[in-house]
Structure 1
Amino acid sequence: MKKYHFIAIGGAVMHNLALALVQKGYQVTGSDDEIYEPSRTRLERAGILPAAYGWFPEKITSDLDGIILGMHARIDNPELIRAQELGVPVFSFPEFIYNQSQTKKRVVIAGSHGKTSITSMILHVLKDQNVDFDYLVGAQIEGFDLMVRLSDAPVIVIEGDEYLTSPIDRTPKFFHYRHDIALVSGIAWDHFNVFPDFEDYKAQFSKLMDRTLIEGELIYCAVDPLVKEAAEKSSTPGQKTPYQAHPAEIQEGKTYLKTESGLVEIGVFGDHNLQNLQGALEICRALGVSKEQFYRSIGSFKGAAKRQEVLAAGTSGILFRDFAHAPSKLKATVNAVKNQFPERRLIAVQELHTYSSLNKAFLPNYAHSMDEADEAIIYLNPHAVALKKLELMDEATLREGFKRADLKLFTESQALKDYLLTQNYSNTNLLLMSSGNYDNLDLEPLKAKFNTHEA
């Protein structure tokens, strides 16, 4: 029986991998200095929740087949140091995924935005078409118990992140997967704390493209000028396949794909999602799924968690939640909701939560990203700003950065909640965007507003 120990087992993807290895029949242990829900309960149910929080070098023994090191751990982690002393193999998350999939066809979905949605669409179609495959995706998807699967399947579909690999490997994760097929959906400056220079950030995607082998394929979004330029300049000897948004039309708030066989209703919307869908179609084609099969399956796709997720819907208003936080994601989501329901008022709320978004030097990148909203609101927590040792931006600074003179700022969760509850949601959509949770904002009273006559 293989034995692996996780350093920082509580992370969203890390605990999913731990659970996947338990399903595979491996012996799994782990440590972390904090574990939140739902990770805690899921690890407990599997019998692998650490008995106590903290780092315990005595857990590291020479009979381990390997250590799986999470990004949350520090380079001076006591368990990591002990593993290095004993010569136990240490794998970063992406290195371990590659180690387990060397004999498979490896598909990597990369990009500053859209990669979770594209990966989710691919997984949905492949499952619906009874294709055997493994996967790694960065969100919980309807119909999938885990965010990771490792089996004897001949194919693995991987959401490839450009963020750093581990505390001891400062290169992007997506280099380690050694793809056969790569898709790049978009390039827009993100992870300002890791890539303060935009040229360096863009270079990571060019390097990924160049690693496509002669028998491989590079699929790229030609609508994005930076992606198009990088792909056309790429030295890869592999096949290059450009794509753009799938043709579609909107009828009464619903989106329909235009296909050779007629209109196909889908459950997602917006130009960015039509680009994502076309990218997913190109990947499925490369894996042997026909267009007809793709169209038969994609209609039942409901979207990944927190991606244009409908929390409540009334007769004339919808409460949406979306993971959008980077400027390009924010603009795409706001525009998509407004274009889908042009006759409805749109209240858009953005929580500045990440290091990049809270950094005054990065703020100009958000210019005009909320222009399409009828009302634009920013929420930020002064405590979160202080923890990141950044300057707290005031309303005037944010209005200048977003180029929105009527932008409203809230710095207390309760005040934001009170304000939103005073609004009339008749013929109005509310869009909540964040990679956080507005400091545990209780959404139930807001949901109730959309289940009354007001919405």
Structure 2
Amino acid sequence: MFTAVKSVHFVGICGTAMASAAAALMEKGVKVTGSDANVYPPMSTFLAQKGIEVMLGYGEQNLAHKPDLVVIGNAISRGNPEAEAVLEKRLRYCSLPELLKYFFIQGRRSLVITGTHGKTTTTSLLAWVFEHNGLNPSFLIGGIPNNFNQGARFTDSEWFIIEGDEYDTAFFDKRSKFMHYLPEVAVINNLEFDHADIFENLAAIQTAFRRFINLIPRNGLLLANNEDANLAPLLQNLPCPLKRFGLGADAALQAFNLRFGPTACEFEIPSFKFHLNLVGEYNVRNALAVIGVAKHCGLSNKQIQAAFDTFKGVRRRLEVRGIAGGVTVVDDFGHHPTAIRETLKALKIKYPQQRIWAVFEPRSNTTRRNVFQTELPLAFADADAVVIAEVARLEQVPPHERLNPKQLMDDLVALGKPAAYLPDVDTIVQHLVKNAEPGDVVCIFSNGGFGGIHGKLLDQLQRR
């Protein structure tokens, strides 16, 4: 099937997974093109470095070269002119998860990392453990691990390590993406309500994960967070072996004697002490999941630790973008209250004496809505000051469903937290340049480009 495809066009190529898969296909000798309406770093830079042509905007003309296959991203909906042209011309098309399943995963040993939080870091760490120990894995990660400088690679090895997202596959396939990934070993890090645009409630997400668990074979393994109350009901009468991990004594794989420093943490499992160059308790859990998978697949504690020693983290996960005027600017992908809370906790460990600013863009399909209106103020507990931007793509969310940023600001102030609601990037930058002092840390939370705020802020801080 794959040999007949010589050219592939990606509609929505600047999604992190789409761009990474496109680059990996190009390395295999396939002619790759793509289109997108939102072209911004890091994926735009990444694609340019790979020599992949990105057509700005969507339209029938982008298909004039008649590609053998069109991959339609999950952000594309009916009414998109390019998607409509694909249907009208009866071109061969598929989703990205289908492309992966039939062209790359089938016949391999698939290790799938799932959960509401920590997927990208955990998948990146697992891929590096396998790589460092000479196993040359294929991988697909929804971000860019610094050890690889790319989010996807397809090799001839038997191992395929993949980040398994519960979000839907495409407008023509409403199943969760991870239903296509043929798991032999699967991790569920945690389970919370998210993706309010496609899941009605927590029960709907639990149903999706139940269906995923049902794909794990009898000779496979499910590694599950033992301390997640929302996950617990799913772990009864399973069709596959189960191993629970966590910090409590009743976990089969338990971490204890945790110690946290500003740039690293240490923890023990029975008979071995691990050291990890990441901060925060949530990264201990991520590492535990990796240890569980790696040991199941035949690696020793020493082999795992050797890889931990050289792991360099992931872009946009507590990534320091620069220091200017004495102010450290940090970029983080966090957009769920739990992720924001845990990231700020980690920053408090990393910068214990410094004032921490949190700048939040409500951009994800869930945080643009008022689903987390009451949870969000508490998520910023470890920030010393908060700035909230306007809800992204406001017109797409009905008024009665929208997050109210001004209410969020008022709730933060009521909790004694200095907070400002500043709708646009330039106003936010002016506010920070005026008020941030040398030694402060500004952490910018967004799962998009946020109008290039990182570069603008660093530039203005440098000039003041």
TM-score bin, normalised by smaller chain:
0.7 to 0.9
Q: Does 1:396 align with 2:398?
A: no
Other-structure match for 2:70: 67
Residue deviations 1:349-396, cap 9 Å, x none?
Answer: 222122321212441232511122232332225x63234444572523
Q: Does 1:224 align with 2:217?
A: no
Residue number among 122, 130, 134 corresponding to 2:134 in the alignment: 130
Other-structure match for 2:441: 429
Residue number among 240, 256, 260 corresponding to 1:250 in the alignment: 260
CA spacing shift, 1:340–1:229, aligned 2, 3 Å: farther
Share of identical aligned residues, percent?
22
Alignment map for 1:102-251 (pairs within 5 Å): 102-231=106-235, 233=236, 235-245=237-247, 246-247=255-256, 248-251=258-261
Other-structure match for 2:393: 384
The aligned amino acid for 1:268 is: L
3-state SS, counterpart of residue 316 of structure 2 = coil
Q: TM-score, normalised by structure 2?
A: 0.85
User: In the aligned structure 2, how far is the partner of 1:97 from the partner of 1:174?
Assistant: 11
The aligned amino acid for 2:443 is: L
Other-structure match for 1:28: 32
Unmatched runs of 5 consecutive residues or more in structure 1:
none
Worse-superposed segment, 369-378 or 399-408: 399-408
User: In the aligned structure 2, how far is the partner of 1:33 from the partner of 1:319?
Assistant: 27
Do the aligned residues in 2 keep the contact of 1:57 with 1:82 (CA within 8 Å)? Answer: no
CA spacing shift, 1:215–1:252, aligned 2, 3 Å: closer
CA spacing shift, 1:52–1:373, aligned 2, 3 Å: closer
CA spacing shift, 1:30–1:164, aligned 2, 3 Å: same
Q: Does 1:416 align with 2:428?
A: yes
CA spacing shift, 1:299–1:84, aligned 2, 3 Å: same
User: In the aligned structure 1, how far is the partner of 2:271 from the partner of 2:336?
Assistant: 37
Q: CA RMSD in A?
A: 3.4
Q: Please state how far the C-alpha of 1:141 moved relative to its aligned partner.
A: 1.3
User: In the aligned structure 2, how far is the partner of 1:41 from the partner of 1:424?
Assistant: 29
CA spacing shift, 1:385–1:88, aligned 2, 3 Å: closer
CA spacing shift, 1:399–1:215, aligned 2, 3 Å: farther
Do the aligned residues in 1 keep the contact of 2:113 with 2:123 (CA within 8 Å)? Answer: yes
3-state SS, counterpart of residue 151 of structure 1 = coil
User: In the aligned structure 2, how far is the partner of 1:52 from the partner of 1:435?
Assistant: 20
The aligned amino acid for 1:219 is: L
Number of corresponding residues: 448
Q: Please state how far the C-alpha of 1:421 moved relative to its aligned partner.
A: 2.1
Do the aligned residues in 1 keep the contact of 2:136 with 2:155 (CA within 8 Å)? Answer: no
3-state SS, counterpart of residue 249 of structure 1 = strand
